[in-house]
């Protein structure tokens, strides 16, 4: 099944990502929303309802991240504002809910904001760290995010007889792209040598294999295709939206063949989105993609799970330069989570913004030529929830 109609994205806004100690959660939300309003050529009065995607903020700061506060900062009263959360897919979940709401006929135009303020607490104040302190049955055994993905990285190298240089190459590519993205947390290139000699975090993942902890917000304005055309907006359509949940926190379900490598959540979410968008050969039918490179290994596995290549061949795409900005199929033109950073609730919305701007031809130095169709993908929890969106002109 699919939405009764494709929903149009008519405006996007992304704050600079980084360590934004001088900006409050409210500032980030307002900055992202007003950039999206301006881009769409609308005002807050045109918006019928709003969604907030945020994960850590309410845990850390109490009520600041709750839905009604979004209405507060943005002066949306008395309009409906809701909050959704689903681990690292939170931002894309907010977009998904906004799109379903417009397609349902309930609202004509909605604002979706994803935001996260993560640097105001020390690392040990973060949600995951607190769970470790709370003797969480899984996390207290060291199965933190780097630990979990390191297990897959180790097996990947073993299975395909590779060295960790393949991970470093992903980092080098994404830092190179990030250097061209004025909104990225890290806007500098790194060398392969730097990546290889970096400090170990969770073997075999080193410093540059891990995305940073970052503050930031992103927003999109969604409406019907009819309304977008009426307004002569420079719009992009949401042609497919897939969400899959394949495990709880303690019951990770691995890929169908139990290789303990790939993520079934991504495979299932992609299957839904591709069916809706009529995509049969992702590599051929898509021109650009943003995928969830929380760690470099994840990007390689995503290539396989999203059908950009066969299982076990993800590393070839980076070795052969296929996914480089000047390659045949550019992935993470923004710099990915690796360079832009990963403010959890914001990430999915930022990815949708990046693909929207690519399809509109507005990405300047990191623009992919003739991009007509693109994909955005997030993966959450211990690889057990994934959202995939196909965007097209």
* Per-residue contact flags (x/-) with a second copy for residues 29 to 48, judged by CB under 8 A: -------------------x
What is the smallest separation between the CB atom of 307 and a second copy, expressed in angstroms? 16
Question: In terms of DSSP H, where are the helices of 104-202?
Answer: 127-133, 145-160, 165-178, 192-196
Q: What are phi and psi of 231, to 5 degrees?
A: -85, 0
**Count, residues in the chain:** 393
| Range in contact with a second copy (rule: CB under 8 A) among 142-150, 239-247, 314-322, 348-356 | 239-247
Using CB under 8 A, pick the residue from 108, 155, 176, 393 that binds a second copy: 108
82 binds a second copy (CB under 8 A): yes
Residue 14: strand pairing partners: 218
Distance (Å, whole) CA 224 – CA 222 = 7
Using CB under 8 A, pick the residue from 22, 78, 122, 370 that binds a second copy: 78
Helix (H, G, I), strand (E, B) or coil at 375: strand
| List 88, 291, 294, 363, catalytic entry | 88
76 binds a second copy (CB under 8 A): yes
What is the smallest separation between the CB atom of 83 and a second copy, expressed in angstroms? 5
Distance (Å, whole) CA 245 – CA 58 = 23
| DSSP letters spanning 239-288 | EEEEEEE---SS---B-TT--SSSBHHHHHHHHHHHHHHT-S-HHHH-SE
Using CB under 8 A, pick the residue from 73, 156, 186, 208 that binds a second copy: 73
What is the smallest separation between the CB atom of 392 and a second copy, expressed in angstroms? 18
Using CB under 8 A, pick the residue from 30, 32, 39, 69 that binds a second copy: 69
Which residues 160-219 are close enough to bind a second copy by CB under 8 A?
none
Q: What are phi and psi of 69, to 5 degrees?
A: -65, -30
Give me the residue label for tokens 């000699």: 197
- How many other C-beta atoms lie within 10 A of the C-beta of residue 203? 12
Using CB under 8 A, pick the residue from 44, 120, 125, 131 that binds a second copy: 131
| Range in contact with a second copy (rule: CB under 8 A) among 94-102, 154-162, 343-351, 363-371 | 94-102
What is the smallest separation between the CB atom of 70 and a second copy, expressed in angstroms? 8
What is the smallest separation between the CB atom of 131 and a second copy, expressed in angstroms? 5
The tokens of 231 are what?
Answer: 């307004």
- How many other C-beta atoms lie within 10 A of the C-beta of residue 108? 15
105 binds a second copy (CB under 8 A): yes
| Minimum CB distance to a second copy smaller for 79 or for 231 | 79
What contacts 76, CB < 8 A, 6 or more positions away? Answer: 44, 47, 50, 70, 111
* Per-residue contact flags (x/-) with a second copy for residues 361 to 390, judged by CB under 8 A: -------------------xx--xx-----
Distance (Å, whole) CA 92 – CA 87 = 10
Q: Indicate if 342 belongs to the active site.
A: yes
**Residues at the contact surface with a second copy, assessed by CB under 8 A:** 1-4, 48-49, 58-59, 62-64, 66-69, 71-73, 76-87, 93, 96-97, 99-101, 103-108, 130-131, 134, 136, 241-251, 253, 264-265, 268, 380-381, 384-385
Active site residues per annotation: 88, 342
């Amino acid at each position: 099944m699919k939405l009764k109609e494709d929903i149009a994205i008519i405006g996007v806004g992304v704050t600079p990502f980084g360590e934004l100690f001088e900006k409050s959660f409210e500032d980030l939300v307002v900055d992202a929303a007003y950039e999206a309003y301006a881009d769409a050529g609308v005002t807050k009065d045109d918006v019928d309802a709003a969604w907030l995607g945020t994960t850590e903020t309410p845990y850390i700061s109490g009520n600041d991240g709750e839905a009604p506060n979004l209405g507060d900062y943005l002066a949306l009263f008395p309009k409906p504002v809701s909050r959704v959360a689903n681990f690292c897919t939170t931002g894309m979940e907010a977009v998904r809910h906004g799109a379903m709401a417009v397609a349902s006929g309930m609202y004509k135009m909605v604002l979706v904001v994803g935001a996260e303020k993560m640097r105001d607490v020390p690392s040990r104040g973060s949600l995951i760290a607190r769970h470790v302190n709370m003797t969480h049955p899984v996390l207290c055994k060291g199965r933190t995010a780097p630990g979990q993905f390191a297990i897959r990285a180790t097996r990947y190298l073993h299975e395909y007889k590779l060295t960790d240089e393949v991970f470093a190459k992903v980092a080098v590519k994404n830092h190179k792209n990030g250097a061209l993205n004025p909104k990225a947390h890290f806007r500098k290139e790194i060398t392969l040598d730097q990546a290889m000699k970096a400090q170990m975090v969770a073997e075999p993942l080193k410093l540059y294999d891990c995305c940073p902890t970052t503050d930031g917000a992103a927003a999109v304005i969604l409406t019907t295709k009819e309304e977008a055309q009426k307004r002569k907006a420079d719009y992009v359509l949401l042609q497919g939206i897939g969400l899959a949940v394949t495990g709880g926190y303690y019951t990770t379900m691995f890929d169908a063949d139990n290789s303990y490598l790939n993520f079934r959540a991504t495979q299932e979410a992609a299957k839904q989105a591709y069916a809706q968008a009529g995509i049969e050969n992702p590599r051929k039918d898509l021109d650009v993609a943003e995928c969830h490179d929380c760690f470099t290994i994840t990007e390689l596995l995503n290539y396989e799970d999203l059908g950009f290549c066969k299982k076990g061949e993800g590393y070839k795409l980076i070795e052969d330069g296929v996914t480089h900005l000047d390659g045949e199929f550019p992935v993470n033109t923004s710099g990915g989570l690796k360079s832009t950073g990963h403010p959890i609730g914001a990430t999915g919305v930022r990815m949708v913004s990046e693909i929207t701007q690519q399809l509109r031809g507005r990405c300047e130095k990191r623009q992919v030529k003739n991009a007509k169709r693109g994909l955005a993908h997030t993966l959450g929890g211990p690889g057990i929830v994934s959202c995939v969106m196909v965007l097209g002109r």
